[in-house]
Amino acid sequence: MSSPKSYDVLVLGSGQGGTPLASAFANAGKTVALIERSHIGGCCINEGCTPTKTMIASGRVAYLARRGANDYGVRVGDVNVNMEKVRQRKRDIVESFRGGSERRLKDVKGLDVLIGEAKFTGEKTVEIKMTESGEIKNAKGDIIVLNVGERPAKPNLPGVEDVDGSRVLDSTSVQELGEVPKHLLVLGGGYIGLEFGQLFRRLGAEVTIIQRGAQLLGREDDDIANKMLEILREDGITVHLKSNASRLSSSSDKDLPISLEITNKDGDKTLTGSHILFAAGRTPNTDTLNLPATGIEVDKRGHVKANPKLETSVPGIYALGDVKGGPAFTHVSYDDFRILQANLISAASKPGFEPKTSTDRENKMPYVVYTDPQLGHVGLHENELRRDQPERKIKVARMPMAYVARALETDESRGMMKGVVDAETGEILGFTCLGVEGGEIMSQVQMAMWGGLKWWDLQAMCIAHPTFAESLNNVWGFLE
């Protein structure tokens, strides 16, 4: 083995946190290697947020075009979807985002970008198999940052090997389809299942979602999940709840060659589809890192154990983003970057500096499910407050989007808003907007929560008319 090249910092994986962190260390004068086995920018810009939200925009245009004549008095002719164009638009945006990231890294002095797969050979040493040449390089770092993310969980359904593999899809391969599937079976009623399910329905596919849990989006309050179910069914999507998929097989129908057996309270059923999308969770990329060589502890699912300062069980090794478990969002990975930047780079110059931790954001976590209408949520849910803090007095407000003037004017009145507050202090504990631009409306409440505003401050604020946000004056009138 060649002697390892020494760096101050090794960043393993070019995810949403690791990439800016590698630049920040180099800009602070450290020698840094950023090691990435496939694409700079990681899942978010290559296979996650960017491509999906780009395709979802095409789906929304198809939806509005179909609604034009009936709902808005504007006829735009027959709606045809050219899947190759939808895909090309997605590929172009991904390429431009990735290209931008690659160019920015090239200009950073002291930063080596190594395109290869890393695995540990010792506590602070790694071996890198270069992706193109297959050459092996060795490196060691005083500080090592793990930002290797997750990948789609492999389908472990009996019969999966017996069906045409090109019709068995995950969240990455489904984006590369050149034509709209005739009937997409979706296994899993979480973020990925719902976003792709609705997208392909809008692009023209029949869609059936099979969800093991009793409701869609398992963590949401049941009133919100039920409203989402109602919306998806209204859009023509078939949803089977509390259903267990037991076997895949080939059917003799050449248009619908995939057979899926499911079991639920009504007994056994066989569903047929042209394709099946596995959307039932993700697996951390820790299994190929040879972690025993370094001694980093992982949990039962293989996520790296890290404390709120993102320190792993090995001093000098940190974990950021999805690899450490917990909420798997781009903004979490980027906020993890802020934590390490503050604690490892800026801290030295600030006497009396208090380390930044992930605890600060814990009860104020925002996210958006990009269905249409969107589901934007921040903070705690009613169900977890009632379960975890039964002694706390809370009040809950629910208001249909049909009470929002702007929603009626734009004919986008599906969904509801929900706010949960502390009955004694007026603190806003959680807020959900299942509505058009629900993510943007939620973000305004998030800002109020971070600024310590009470619900009555939002009720009293003069908000421009007629905006969706104006409803933040009214929703609190429904507190009970």
Ligand X SMILES: NC(=O)c1ccc[n+]([C@@H]2O[C@H](COP(=O)([O-])OP(=O)(O)OC[C@H]3O[C@@H](n4cnc5c(N)ncnc54)[C@H](O)[C@@H]3O)[C@@H](O)[C@H]2O)c1
CB of 324 to ligand FAD, least distance (A): 8
Distance CA 189, CA 471 (A): 29
Which of ligand FAD, ligand X, none has residue 149 at its interface (CB below 5 to 8 Å by kind)? Answer: ligand FAD
Q: Would you say 48 is a known binding-site residue?
A: no
- Quick check: 332 binds ligand X (CB under 6 A)? no
Partner from ligand X, ligand FAD, none binding residue 419, C-beta < 5-8 Å depending on class? none
Whose Cβ is closer to ligand FAD: residue 304's or residue 445's? Answer: 304
Rounded to whole angstroms, the Cα distance separating 160 from 158 reads 6
53 is in an annotated binding site: yes
Using the rule CB under 6 A, which residue among 25, 120, 191, 468 binds ligand X? 191
Q: Does 328 bind ligand X (CB under 6 A)?
A: yes
CA distance 373 to 235: 11
Structure tokens at 462: 């003069």
Cβ contacts of 325 within 8 Å, gap of 6 or more = 284, 299, 301, 303, 304
Choose which of 33, 114, 187, 225 interacts with ligand X (CB under 6 A): 187
CB 229 → ligand X: shortest distance, Å?
12
The nearer residue to ligand X, 235 or 457, going by C-beta atoms, is 235
Query: Is residue 325 a contact point for ligand X (CB under 6 A)?
Result: no
- List the one residue from 97, 200, 370, 455 that touches ligand X (CB under 6 A): 370
Max CA pair span of the chain: 72
Cα separation, 298 vs 373, in Å, equals: 37
Is 193 a known ligand-binding residue? yes
Retrieve residue 288's tokens.
Answer: 């190929």
Residue 124 CB partners (closer than 8 Å, separation 6+): 140, 141, 142, 144, 294, 316, 317
Provide, rounded to whole angstroms, the least separation between the CB of residue 128 and ligand X: 27
415 is in an annotated binding site: no
Choose the one of ligand X, ligand FAD, none that binds residue 476, judging by a C-beta under 5 to 8 angstroms depending on kind: none
The item of ligand FAD, ligand X, none sharing an interface with residue 280, based on CB under 5 to 8 Å by kind, is ligand X
Residue 43 binds: one of ligand X, ligand FAD, none (C-beta under 5 to 8 A by kind):
ligand FAD
User: What is the rounded CA–CA span in Å between residue 141 and residue 330?
Assistant: 26
Find, among 381, 455, 383, the residue nearest to 424 by Cα. 455
| 377 given a catalytic annotation | no
| Stretch near ligand X under the rule CB under 6 A, chosen from 57-65, 253-261, 363-371, 418-426 | 363-371
42 binds ligand X (CB under 6 A): no
Q: Pick what 12 binds: ligand X, ligand FAD, none; C-beta below 5 to 8 Å, kind-dependent.
A: ligand FAD
Count the Cβ atoms, other than its own, within 10 Å of residue 197: 28
Using CB under 6 A as the binding rule, whether residue 213 contacts ligand X is answered as: yes
Q: Which amino acid is at 225?
A: A
**Under the criterion CB under 6 A, does residue 395 sit at the interface with ligand X?**
no
CB of 44 to ligand FAD, least distance (A): 4
- Work out how close the CB of 449 gets to ligand FAD at its nearest, in angstroms, rounded to a whole number: 18
Residue 281 in contact with ligand X, rule: CB under 6 A: yes
Nearer to ligand X, 10 or 210 (CB): 210
Candidate residues 56, 111, 192, 385; the one interacting with ligand X per rule CB under 6 A:
192
Question: Is residue 190 at the binding interface for ligand X, with CB under 6 A as the rule?
Answer: yes
213 is in the binding site of which of ligand FAD, ligand X, none (Cβ under 5 to 8 A by kind)? ligand X
Pick the binder of ligand X from 39, 67, 129, 212 (CB under 6 A).
212
Taking contact as CB under 6 A, which single stretch among the options 10-18, 174-182, 191-199, 297-305 is the one that binds ligand X? 191-199
419 labeled part of a ligand binding site:
no
Stretch that binds ligand X, among 15-23, 33-41, 276-284, 420-428 (CB under 6 A): 276-284
Known binder of ligand: residue 56? no
Of 275, 303, 381, 465, the active-site residue reads: 465
Nearest alpha carbon to residue 48 among 137, 140, 171: 171
Q: How near is the Cβ of 48 to ligand FAD at its closest, in Å? A: 3
188 labeled binding residue: yes
Q: Is 4 in the site for ligand X (CB under 6 A)?
A: no
Please tell me whether 191 is known to bind a ligand: yes
Residues in the annotated binding site for NAD(+): 188-195, 281
Active site residues: 465
Residues that bind ligand X (CB under 6 A): 187-193, 195, 210-213, 218, 245, 279-282, 328-329, 367-370
Residues in the annotated binding site for FAD: 53, 322
